[in-house]
Copies of this chain bind each other. A is one copy, B any other.
Amino acid sequence: MTNDSSSPPPSASSHQAPARGGRPRSERAHQAILTAARELLIEKGFAAMRLEHVAARAGVGKATIYRRWASKEALAQDLLAHLAAPHIAVADSGDTREELLAAVTNPMRAVTETDFGPVIRALLSQIASDPSIGDPFRATVVEARRAEIAKVIERGIARGDLRADADAGVATELLVGPVYFRLMFGGVLDLDFAKRVVDSAMRGFTA
């Protein structure tokens, strides 16, 4: 992208006013809306979350919400992106097992210890069915995590800890899939679970 930033539809985020004169948009209102939306999304779920109630809880007029986000979906996606970002990176620790464990515990902790858990729980259907939420989420959060895990596998192969033909193309599924499976379908999500997933994935089932 080399254009000089003048294109009106703010492709990625929703933060900018459409520029020029007039009273600037209130940052206070913006944050109040995001907070109220997160709370109500968690309390009521996506379907039962009412923008009318978000506005009331944020102490804001409905128009102030619609000025920034075109729909409930867009607001929810913004929320999701903000919450997911901090729990993706896996640092190069020198210890391959430790890094694989981090690949499991990162999403697990995000999901059990932060608001990302209830929020993504509330939005699973939308991510899976509604491209207007799903596509941006896949393009950013999911791809970032996949890339991070691919690097873990590469480093493990380079260290000689993992076999040379370890399948990086399904590693994310094998390591993170179990976490989301239990998020949806129940089962404890603790460190022991994470370790058993990593052990099984490393050693395999075969005798």
Contacts and interface: CB of A to CB of B under 8 A. Distances in A.
A187 B170 CA distance: 10
A128 interface: yes
Main secondary structure on A side of the interface with B: helix
Nearest to A161: B207
A205 to B, nearest CB: 4
Interface stretch (A29-37, A52-60, A86-94, A117-125): A117-125
Interface in A99-145: 100, 118, 121-130, 134, 137-138, 142
A113 to B, nearest CB: 17
A97 B56 CA distance: 57
A160 interface: yes
A3 to B, nearest CB: 28
B185 A138 contact: yes
Contacts of A162: 205-207
Contacts of A172: 181
B129 A170 contact: no
A83 interface: no
30 contacts: A100-B205, A121-B125, A123-B125, A124-B124, A124-B125, A124-B184, A128-B183, A128-B184, A138-B186, A153-B205, A156-B205, A160-B207, A167-B199, A167-B200, A167-B205, A170-B193, A170-B196, A170-B197, A171-B205, A173-B177, A174-B178, A174-B200, A174-B201, A177-B177, A177-B178, A180-B181, A200-B201, A201-B204, A201-B205, A204-B205
Interface of A: 45-47, 100, 118, 121-130, 134, 137-138, 142, 153, 156, 160-164, 166-167, 169-174, 176-187, 193, 196-197, 199-207
Given A121-B129, A162-B207, 15 more contacts: A45-B125, A46-B125, A122-B125, A125-B126, A128-B183, A134-B186, A163-B206, A164-B207, A166-B205, A167-B196, A171-B205, A174-B177, A174-B178, A174-B201, A181-B181
